[in-house]
Amino acid sequence: MKRKLGIIFATMLIFSISSYFLVMTFGRKPLVRGEEEKNIVTSFYPVYIITGNLMQGIRGVRVVNLTENHTGCLHDYQLTTKDMLLMETADLLVINGGGMELFIKQAAEKLSGLTVVDSCEGMELLEGKAHDHDHDHGQEEDSFKEQNPKKEDMEEGQDAMFREDTEEMEENGHVWMDMGRYQMQVHTVADGLCAAYPELAGQIRENERIYCGKIAALMQEYTDLKEILSGLLTITFHDAFIYLCDSFGTEVVHGIDLDADSALSAGELAQLADEIRLHGVCYLLAEKETGGLAEQVARETGSTVVYLDPLTSGEDDLDAYLTAMRANLEELRSILP
Amino acid sequence: MHTIYRWMETILPFDYIQYDFMKNALLAVLIITPLFGILGTMIVNNRMAFFSDALGHSALTGMGIGVIFGVSDASLSMVVFAIIFALLLNRIRHSGIVANDTVISVFSSLSTAAGLVILSRGSSFSKYSALLVGDILSITPAEIFRLLLIFAATLAFWCLAFNKLHAVSLNASLARSKRIRVALIDNIFVILIAVIVMISIRWVGILIINALLILPAAAARNLAANMAEYHLFSVLFSVFSGILGLILSYYLDMAAGPMIVVIASLLFFVMLAVRPLVKE
């Protein structure tokens, strides 16, 4: 017994010493914060860009993004000790809100003394994974129902069964894709920052004015797109594009959030193809990474895929939003009639 | 709780202990790991490694059923389903109609598939994917207290029924001849596993919970010559893997659960290598 315990403790000692050297070599250095430094942590890319613009040129302020700029949406994000540590050392956490960061929000609520600024606070949100049956299908839909009565009944039954789950699921937080709503986000974050740091309010408000001016200029530049896109029927493959469509008056016949979903069922694909044929949808809005499925559907139905950037990730550049949004708008202008 | 926190800060003057989430995670590890170390001994002895794995996978169906019935606390539906699942699986396993590994595989596949079918309805599985890896960093004091109660219940069961459980695991017929209620003891044991797996799965994750149950006991079995040694070594390996894995995950910015499993696996291989030296 003593010999065995000796072997076990010797092994544990070797493991511990090896771990010590591992930590010394590859480990994170202790997070040291200066006396004067204001630590602002943002949850993910869009709010990181907003906060970075609002705090631009202000000394003694550190803006850190909790997730990597290329993480994308936080649907299945797992918090690491580093994230918890960042939140512990922060005095302000800026989140997008709208159900995008439930996980972080719940963790942040456990941390005392951390102020959370929700950029979507008070904003009217659209539904995610939209399946819009409000529009008038007319006779077309009646005949479609006649052809597929069981499918419709089944869908209604399932809807009732999962109502509670679906209601929670359908909150769409990708508001930044609507430039008008993005401006509102900027204002909300600016209000939160001014409340937290009243001594910096002058500089923050000035940055807010400049940044909102740039967004307004971009909106102005592409006002003609509204006439082209208004009333156009589309299918979206990312919840973010629902807001883009909303801002231009484009009708989303059916929405799928491939960013959050691992796979689509055969039934969903069939339903999608039926919707496209029923409504005569010509354009499918998708992002490049998940465009394979959209291409498949396009081949099946003869529609066209338009690749857009949902702006959930990008470069560490303060003008990244404006650049990427401009690219999206140019893409729409070049492809659509 | 503040007293425990202060006490921890006093005896552990390290960088990581100044954060409440690390204190909570460490407390949870100090409860979960010995619990798993103890339970693992009998799971390995009874060759139930795949049984507990199947049980872990049933968490998906348990959660799915909770979603269907609108149960606000998913843990409740998971525990209830896991108990039914474990008792049914145990009954069919002992009936001898189907081979043990086949029936476990059928149950495991069914529970995983049924869970995925329900939870991916409306393509919303991503909402539940956190269950796969778990997150011990977000555990709360109330949840730690719940784990403590389970730990106490397990200890009580072990003190009262270990000899009977051991007899059943050695030879069920012999145990019956000693007037041990084999079915009852066996069912209580699988219910205990079901409850512990379901209560801890949110913190440990479906993919690695079985590794935490099996690895420390498997490593201990390489050295142990009797039950006392087996339990002691298993608990030592389990607690050591848990603490070192958590600390390493803090300094190396990696997920805690998988790091604990990596340490436990390395321990298993080291003990496998030294086995000839101590078991001559």
- A115's CB contacts (< 8 A; 6+ apart) are A91, A92, A93, A192, A196
Q: Is any Cβ of chain B less than 8 angstroms from the Cβ of A1?
A: yes
Domain that holds residue A194: 38-119+175-217
Q: Give B217-267 as a DSSP string.
A: HHHHHTT-SSHHHHHHHHHHHHHHHHHHHHHHHHHHT--HHHHHHHHHHHH
Residue A81 domain flag: yes
Q: What is the pLDDT of residue B241?
A: 94
- Cα torsion A144, A149, A151, A153: sign: positive
Beta-strand ranges (E) seen in chain A are 38-42, 61-65, 92-95, 115-118, 233-236, 251-255, 283-286, 304-307
Q: Tell me: do A55 and A179 sit in the same domain.
A: yes
| Chosen from B15, B137, B143, B204 to mutate, greatest number of chain A CBs within 10 A | B137
Structural domains of chain B sorted by starting position, each given as residue range(s) with its CATH number in brackets? 2-275 (1.10.3470.10)
pLDDT tens-digit readout, B15-72: 778 777 788 889 999 999 999 999 999 888 887 878 888 888 888 888 888 878 777 7
Contact B148, B31 (CB under 8 A): yes
- B263: chain A residues, CB-CB within 8 Å: 15
In a domain, A11, yes or no: no
Cβ separation of A8 and B236 shorter than 8 Å?
Answer: yes
pLDDT digits (tens, 9 = 90+) for A194-211: 999 999 999 999 999 999
Q: Please indicate whether, in this complex, the C-beta atoms of A7 and B274 are within 8 angstroms of each other.
A: yes
Q: Given an 8 Å threshold on Cβ–Cβ distance, is B248 in contact with A75?
A: no
- In this prediction, residue B122 carries a pLDDT of 56
Q: Measured between alpha carbons, how far is B111 from B100 in angstroms, rounded to an integer?
A: 17
Q: Is residue A25 part of a domain?
A: no
Crossing angle for the helix pair A102-110 and B20-45, nearest 10 degrees? 110
- A181 and A326 fall within a common domain: no
pLDDT of B120 higher than 80:
no
Same-domain status, A87 and A156: no
Q: What parts of chain A have a pLDDT lower than 70? A: 28-36, 68-78, 103, 105-112, 128-170, 258-267, 290-291, 336-337
* Residue where one domain finishes, among candidates A217, A233, A248: A217
The residue of chain B with its CA nearest to that of A73 is B126
Q: Are residues A49 and A158 in the same domain?
A: no
- Residue A268 and residue A167 share a domain: yes
- The pTM of this model reads 0.66
- CA-CA distance, B238 to B261, in Å (whole number)? 10
In a domain, A27, yes or no: no
CB A93 within 8 A of CB A118: no
Q: How many domains does chain A have?
A: 2
Chain B residues whose beta carbon lies within 8 Å of the beta carbon of residue A11: 267, 270-271, 274
Judge whether B206 and B131 are in contact, CB under 8 Å. yes
Which residues in chain B are contacts of A261 at CB distance < 8 A? 120, 123-126
- Same-domain check for residues A161 and A186: no
Residues A106 and A199 in one domain: yes
**pLDDT tens sequence across A93-137:** 899 888 887 767 666 666 667 888 999 888 888 876 544 444 444
CATH classification of the domain holding A246: 3.40.50.1980
Mean pLDDT of B233-253: 91
* Residue linked to tokens 């465009």: A291
